[in-house]
Structure 1
Amino acid sequence: MKLTKYTHACVRLEKEGGVLVLDPGTFSETAEALPGAQAVLVTHEHADHLDTKAVVEALHGNPDLELHAPAGVAQQLREDAPSAADRIYTVEPGQSFQAAGFDIRSFGGQHALIHPQIPMVANIGFLVDQNLYHPGDSFVIPDGSQVQTLLVPLHAPWSKAAEVVDFVIGVRAPRAFQIHDGLLNDTGLGIVEGHVKRIGAKYGTEYRHLAPRESVEV
């Protein structure tokens, strides 16, 4: 499959005419990522992972577009886009389904803790074609699967570098690329990526940085 990385947490996957977009948020180039998509997967409700206005416009403009998301997100989007309500599906952890010709498995359940005084929200990690894993805002390791391509949340208000590295070690995918890097400047990016690349390699993971709009076959 072809993977195109957009700014922050959004990626676009293409395979045999199928187009799947994950987490088209407000930090990303959603106007470029969404056209032609048959399905959108949303890990959780935060704006950096879901640009509600852009997604609702896409649902209205494309009668073939479907969306899969945690219950709260799905319900809100059904209210915002009532004409597309029958194409908006609720996802729970432990499900298997197809979207845009891709096989999807769901994992997790909740967002990583930011602070005890900040409410927790639902978060679903998606494993696509037993290959690529997008964890959203969590470090949940998918059980019963050998991930081939890991998308690594490099930096967030809910994480520290040791947790990022331990996530890469725990998953042990042969290859990894970054997501959730929109809050890092070049200095911070170099530090965190250096740890991930160096330590990940000891456990069999080859880490590579993807620039916004860069594509790679996985």
Structure 2
Amino acid sequence: MDLIKYTHSCVRLEKEGRVLVLDPGSFSGREELAEALEGADELLITHVHPDHLDPEPVHAHLRAHPRTRVHAPAPVAAGLREALGEGHEIHDAEPESVLELGGFTVRTFGGQHAMIHPLIRTVDNIGYLVDETVYHPGDSLVVPHGLTAPVLLAPIHAPWNKLSEVIDFVVSARPERVFQIHDGLLSEHGFGVIEGQLRTFAAKYGVEYRHLATGERVAL
């Protein structure tokens, strides 16, 4: 299975001619999203925020490709069904379930977004473990009970996290490799500070931290 990293939290997985895309959000831009979604068989959405689901280009893609199967938290799936109407495979994703998606096996975890502020309502958030190999947590740093994921996608910067929490997330999950997601607000200096610390702490626990450039492909 190959992983291609796109801007922020958008990730594309390819395996044996099948394509699964996670979180095509607004930070990617229209051309990049079109590339990420090209030929997608499966689309997984962690939560409703636009940096994880850019409605207009995703709606357009699904109208043009109605056989693309979508799984998303129930409120997100309901919104997609309302916007797109009949003739689309849009399913509610519930935590603690197993999805058999045409060659991909996906386990779900969750499910609420990390707290930004007590006066900001949290939303549903589902994390996805694909083929017992790669875990995309969406906007959450909770390590699910019993999770073993050789490859962890770590949200390294957000209004709702701090570096110590990211380090603890990586250390607690104990993957073999870590790649960054949720990085769209970082400058070059920010990457240097955050990733330097993550790389150092990860190495203490035998974990490899690696930065992926936008569009970079890696074999899992």
TM-score, normalised with respect to structure 2 = 0.96
Offset from partner CA, 1:97-133 (integer Å, 9 cap, x none): 1224210000011000000111110000000000000
2:106 is aligned to: 104
CA contact (8 A) 1:66 1:88 kept: yes
**SS, match of residue 27 in structure 1:** helix
Question: Partners of 2:102 and 2:195 in 1: how far apart?
Answer: 32
Alignment of 1:12-91 (within 5 A): 12-28=12-28, 29-85=32-88, 87-91=89-93
Question: Partners of 1:94 and 1:19 in 2: how far apart?
Answer: 23
Instruction: Show structure 1 runs of 5+ residues with no match.
Output: none
**SS, match of residue 27 in structure 2:** coil
1:153 is aligned to: 155
More displaced 10-residue stretch of structure 1: 5-14 or 54-63: 54-63
The correspondence for 2:188, drawn from 177, 180, 186, is 186
The correspondence for 1:95, drawn from 91, 97, 100, is 97
The correspondence for 2:118, drawn from 116, 129, 145, is 116
Question: Partners of 1:75 and 1:127 in 2: how far apart?
Answer: 23
Question: Partners of 2:38 and 2:108 in 1: how far apart?
Answer: 24
Offset from partner CA, 1:24-68 (integer Å, 9 cap, x none): 000122111001000100000000000111111111111320100
- From the superposition, tell whether residues 205 and 84 of structure 1 become closer, same or farther in structure 2 (CA, over 3 Å): farther
- From the superposition, tell whether residues 80 and 197 of structure 1 become closer, same or farther in structure 2 (CA, over 3 Å): same
Query: Which segments of structure 1 move beyond 3 Å, counting only runs of 4 or more?
Result: none
**SS, match of residue 137 in structure 1:** coil
Deviation at 1:144, TM superposition (A): 2.1
Instruction: Show structure 2 runs of 5+ residues with no match.
Output: none
TM-score, normalised with respect to structure 1 = 0.97
- Figure out how many residues of one structure are paired with residues of the other and give that number: 217
More displaced 10-residue stretch of structure 1: 98-107 or 124-133: 98-107
